[in-house]
Structures are given as structure tokens and as C-alpha cells.
């Protein structure tokens, strides 16, 4: 019997990968649902991006903590690397914040303390991680944002997506290349004028909590460049002016965590956690009830299978499992990928995790010149572009018998690999107040976003804003360069 991961529904996508709810089956009617993160098809032929993808898996696989999403398995499906991870039955903190603020409400402080505690516990563990010889790895997440904090149906708080984490004296990204979401970066990450260490994560965690309890973000601006300039200036309003019921310890903790200079912040995440706990801390059931009150609709749909691709067929990805190597040096390049096998051997049984879903977006890089100074315009640096995108993921359809005879024959659908010589450029888009951006009828992302890879050439983008308002923009993308576009509704 063929074994593999059956894709149930796509739940997220970004510039680097896409995430599916997937079902793993095995002997004895074994079944488990996981989140399957697949590298985008047009990026799978880039050795560097595949190496980074595997490095993320090796780093995350070292982590075993109740506040960090767990990795179960890695492998390849038709040449596309994948990571199978814990499927969290819940929503991102950003989604919860949107639903709460949409109704004109505010996140209660006792719930914010519980979320802050879980986030700080995850960072404390990650920052203290060691290699096989007990040597500190000095892990820095570098992308602590509301979109990477998950809140489960049961009231658990988990940190995810270590895809751009920095490790020891090396990095999963190139030196001088700034990655992450512009408005959540620490000033030293933008200016490159101080080491990026645990204090950068503490800054981003404090900023995430500041936004969660006030409903405002001090550095969000109309453009990415303006946001980065605001980060560098570091002007944060006093939280007491935005939230009158905040306690003194909570307010002082947030502002120390948001200090402009790293040396003025907390040295470790544990100290931020202790500062926040100056009042009642909610229980997990209280947070669970709050999530269900505001996000119940968001929890159900992703668990339902998409419509089959044809009568009597379901989309199944057959995987070739790879041995998950955990070298002493996390920064060591990943081993060469194995050649894809059409129908692989069964994967190891997955023993851990919970059912459900989570929205995981692949972080997209913001590339800036390290020497930028306020108020100079922050210049983008050209980077080598990966090959062009392929229209659809490679998925093998395996026919199953329909109720009426005769049973359908097996159908194998093949999608050719993209030519390696093709080049892509990058799209940065923004809209006021916001918009979904569609290309060829498919939503590629929600504004603001940066450096989305597109084939070099001319494209027509559709911006779908509030109330169904629509605007079209024609853009010309040059290989290896960034094209920026903005619309106002």
C-alpha cells in the first residue's frame, strides 16, 4: 500500500514556502495530522535556499519545549524539500489581535501576561540552547512578530518559524543582509551598529506585546523605508497614554525591552517575563475561552478537506524521507539532497504533536545598506535571484475506486521542472489601509510585504481592498532587482 502525506488544505503561503494541513497514514489504520511546510517549486532548484531550508529543520529539531512548535520529519516530495511539524489547533496572535480590535475591544492584561510569559519562556529556552558538546549556540530568532506567535484552542502559546535564525558566529543568512519584517526589527539590526544577540529578540517580543495590548504599532508607516527610519529613531509613546489600566511593572518592562540601545534592555528574556508578571496571570483555559470567543470561525475551515481534484481522486504527496542530521555545528552547510524517488518507502511514525492548524508565513527578507543613517533613504542591495516560479506544486494524484464499477485507473500528473536559466526579480507592495494582492487570479500575499519572487517581465497585479474595492497595477520586474508598488483606496 502506498504511504505518504495526504494534503488536506493549504493554510498559508509566502515568498519562500507554503504550508498545508496534511494527513500521515501508516500500518494498522494509523493516522496523524501535521503541518507540512514545502519549499516553493521554483526555489527547490536553488542549492542555497535548499540549504537554508534544511538548516531551519536541523535547528528547530534540536528544540523540545512546550512553547516552541516541534519538528517531526524532513524529506522530499517530487524534489521539493518539506518539513513536517506540530499542527497547532489555534490562530496566530496577529489574527487574534485583528479580531479583537475589529470589535473595538482590547486584550485583557491578565491574558497578555500569559501570552508574554509563554513567549519569554520560548526565547529563554532558545537563547540557552547548546550543541552536542554543551557549547552555547547563541540562537537568535530574529523574526519575533505576532504572526509567528501561535495561540491554541487549548490556551497554549507557541513560537514558530526559526527559518532566519542566527546561530553562534555564523548565520542562516548572509552577513550584512537584513531579514525580517521591517517594523519589528531592532535598531541594531537595521543599522548593523551592534551585535545582533538575544536582546534583539527581547526588543521584538516587547514590541509584539505593546501592539497586542494597545492596538497600535509605533513604527508602522506608509512605506517600508519610513518604517525603518522610525525604527532607527526609536520614538515609542508611553504605553500609559494608550492603556490607562496598565500596571507600573508591565509598563516599565515594555519600555525597558524597547530601549533604543541594546545595553539598556534586559539581558535575558527571563527578566522581561518577571517584569510583566506584576499582576494576575490568566490560566490556559481562560485564554482558550477568549480565543474561541473571537476566532471560532477561523479554527474550523482549515480542517476540512478541499474538494477532490477529480472524481474518485485525492491529492497525495508521496515522500522520500531523509535522515535528519544534527551536527554539533548548526551553521555547517546541510548535506547534499538526495535524488527524488517517485514512490518512496514509508516514513517513520510520528509520535508527538496535537491536531489542528496554524498559519505560518515564510519570512521574507528586507535587504538594506548597513551604513544607512537617518534621514537618508534606505537603499536596497541587489541579490542573486533564484530560478523562475513554476505554475503549480508537483502533486501526484492517486486514484481510488468510486462506488460504481469499474474502478478508475491510476492517473499520474507531471509538472516539468522550470528551466534553471530563467531569472526572477522581487516585488515589494503596500496599500492603504490594506489589500490582498492577486496575480493570475490567485492571492499571493496581503500587504504590506517585501521581496516576493516573480519571473522577470511584465505582470498585472490586482489589489483587492476593503469592501471589495479593486485596483489594477501593471508592473515590470527586472531580474535580481526589487520593484515597489503602492495603491490607496
Would you say residue 5 has pLDDT above 50? yes
Q: 348-387: b or e for each residue (b if 16 or more CB lie within 10 Å)?
A: eebeebbebbbbbbbbbbbbbeeebeeeeebebeeeebbb
Q: What is the pLDDT of residue 382?
A: 33
Q: Give the residue, 20 or 385, on which the prediction is more confident.
A: 20
| 387 closest CA partner among 81, 47, 75 | 47
Q: What is the pLDDT of residues 241-258, one digit of tens each?
A: 999 999 999 999 999 999
At 119, list the grid cell: 513567549
Q: What is the share, in percent, of the chain residues with pLDDT greater than 70?
A: 69
Are 35 and 10 spatial neighbours (Cβ–Cβ below 8 Å)? no
Would you say residue 331 has pLDDT above 70? no
- Cα 350–chain centre separation: 22
Q: How many beta carbons lie within 10 A of that of residue 277, not counting itself?
A: 18
Q: How confident is the model at residue 208 (pLDDT cuts 50, 70, 90)?
A: very high
Q: What is the pLDDT of residues 70-83, one digit of tens each?
A: 888 888 777 788 88
Between 202-216, 376-390, 416-430, the lowest mean confidence (pLDDT) is in: 376-390
Q: What is the pLDDT of residue 302?
A: 54
Q: What is the pLDDT of residues 175-191, one digit of tens each?
A: 444 455 778 899 998 88
Q: What is the pLDDT of residue 1?
A: 41
Torsion of CA 287, 98, 94, 218, to 10 degrees: -120
* pTM listed for this prediction: 0.64
Q: What is the pLDDT of residue 252?
A: 97
| Grid cell 542573486 in the structure block, residue | 384
Q: What is the pLDDT of residue 426?
A: 76
Q: What is the pLDDT of residue 329?
A: 37
Mean pLDDT of the chain: 74
Are 143 and 86 spatial neighbours (Cβ–Cβ below 8 Å)? no
- Catalytic choice (73, 78, 89, 143): 143
Q: What is the share, in percent, of the chain residues with pLDDT greater than 90?
A: 33
- Cα 256–chain centre separation: 27
Would you say residue 239 has pLDDT above 90? yes
Mean pLDDT of 364-386: 37
Q: What is the pLDDT of residues 265-316, one digit of tens each?
A: 999 999 999 999 999 999 999 999 999 999 988 776 555 555 444 333 344 4
Measured CA to CA, the distance from residue 236 to residue 257 in angstroms comes to: 11
Q: Give the residue, 29 or 381, on which the prediction is more confident.
A: 29
Mean pLDDT of 427-437: 84
Mean pLDDT of 451-477: 87
The full set of domain ranges for the chain reads 90-295, 423-488
Mean pLDDT of 33-46: 84
Question: For this structure, is 161 an active site residue?
Answer: no
Would you say residue 343 has pLDDT above 50? no
Q: What is the pLDDT of residues 151-175, one digit of tens each?
A: 999 999 999 887 655 554 444 444 4
Between 140-144, 355-359, 390-394, 463-467, the lowest mean confidence (pLDDT) is in: 355-359
What's the CATH fold of domain 423-488? Immunoglobulin-like (2.60.40)
DSSP letter string over 391-427?
SS---EEEE---SSSSPPPP-----PPPPTT--EEEE
Superfamily of domain 90-295: Transferase(Phosphotransferase) domain 1 (1.10.510.10)
DSSP tag of 42: G
Amino acid at each position: 500500500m502506498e504511504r505518504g502525506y495526504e494534503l488536506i488544505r493549504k493554510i498559508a503561503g509566502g515568498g519562500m514556502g507554503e504550508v498545508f494541513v496534511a494527513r500521515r497514514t501508516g500500518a494498522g489504520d494509523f493516522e496523524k495530522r501535521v503541518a507540512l511546510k514545502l519549499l516553493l517549486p521554483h526555489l527547490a532548484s536553488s542549492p542555497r535556499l535548499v540549504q537554508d531550508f534544511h538548516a531551519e529543520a536541523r535547528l528547530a529539531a534540536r528544540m523540545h519545549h512546550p512553547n516552541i512548535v516541534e519538528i517531526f520529519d524532513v524529506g522530499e516530495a517530487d524534489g521539493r524539500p518539506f518539513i513536517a511539524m506540530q499542527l497547532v489547533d489555534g490562530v496566530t496572535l496577529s489574527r487574534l489581535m485583528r479580531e479583537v480590535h475589529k470589535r473595538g475591544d482590547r486584550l485583557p492584561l491578565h491574558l497578555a501576561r500569559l501570552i508574554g510569559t509563554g513567549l519569554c519562556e520560548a526565547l529563554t529556552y532558545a537563547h540557552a540552547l547548546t550543541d552536542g558538546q554543551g557549547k552555547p549556540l547563541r540562537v537568535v530568532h530574529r523574526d519575533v512578530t505576532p504572526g509567528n506567535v501561535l495561540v491554541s484552542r487549548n490556551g497554549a502559546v507557541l513560537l514558530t518559524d526559526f527559518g532566519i535564525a542566527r546561530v553562534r558566529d555564523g548565520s542562516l543568512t548572509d552577513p550584512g543582509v537584513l531579514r525580517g519584517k521591517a517594523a519589528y526589527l531592532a535598531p541594531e539590526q537595521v543599522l548593523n551598529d551592534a551585535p545582533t544577540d538575544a536582546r534583539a529578540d527581547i526588543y521584538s517580543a516587547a514590541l509584539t506585546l505593546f501592539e497586542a495590548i494597545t492596538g497600535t504599532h509605533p513604527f508602522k508607516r506608509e512605506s517600508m523605508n519610513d518604517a525603518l527610519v522610525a525604527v532607527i529613531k526609536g520614538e515609542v509613546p508611553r504605553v500609559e497614554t494608550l492603556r490607562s489600566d496598565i500596571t507600573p511593572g508591565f509598563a516599565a518592562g515594555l519600555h525597558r525591552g524597547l530601549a533604543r540601545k541594546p545595553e539598556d534592555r534586559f539581558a535575558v528574556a527571563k527578566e522581561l517575563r518577571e517584569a510583566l508578571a506584576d499582576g494576575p496571570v490568566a490560566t490556559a483555559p481562560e485564554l482558550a475561552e477568549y480565543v474561541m470567543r473571537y476566532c471560532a470561525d477561523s479554527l474550523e475551515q482549515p480542517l476540512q478537506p478541499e474538494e477532490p481534484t477529480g472524481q474518485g481522486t485525492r491529492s497525495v504527496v508521496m515522500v522520500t524521507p531523509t535522515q535528519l542530521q544534527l551536527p554539533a555545528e548548526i551553521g555547517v552547510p546541510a548535506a547534499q539532497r538526495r535524488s527524488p524517488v517517485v514512490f518512496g518507502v514509508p516514513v517513520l511514525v510520528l509520535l508527538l504533536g496535537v491536531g489542528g492548524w496554524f498559519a505560518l508565513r515564510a519570512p521574507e527578507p528586507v535587504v538594506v545598506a548597513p551604513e544607512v543613517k537617518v534621514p537618508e533613504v534606505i537603499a536596497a542591495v541587489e541579490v542573486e535571484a533564484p530560478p523562475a516560479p513554476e505554475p503549480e506544486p508537483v502533486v501526484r494524484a492517486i486514484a481510488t475506486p468510486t462506488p460504481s464499477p469499474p474502478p478508475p485507473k491510476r492517473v499520474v500528473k507531471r509538472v516539468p521542472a522550470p528551466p534553471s536559466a530563467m531569472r526572477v526579480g522581487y516585488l515589494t507592495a503596500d496599500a492603504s489601509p490594506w489589500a490582498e494582492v492577486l496575480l493570475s487570479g490567485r492571492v499571493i500575499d496581503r500587504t504590506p510585504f517585501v521581496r516576493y519572487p516573480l519571473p522577470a517581465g511584465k505582470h498585472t497585479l490586482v489589489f483587492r481592498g476593503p469592501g471589495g474595492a479593486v485596483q489594477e497595477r501593471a508592473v515590470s520586474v527586472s531580474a535580481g532587482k526589487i520593484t515597489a508598488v503602492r495603491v490607496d483606496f
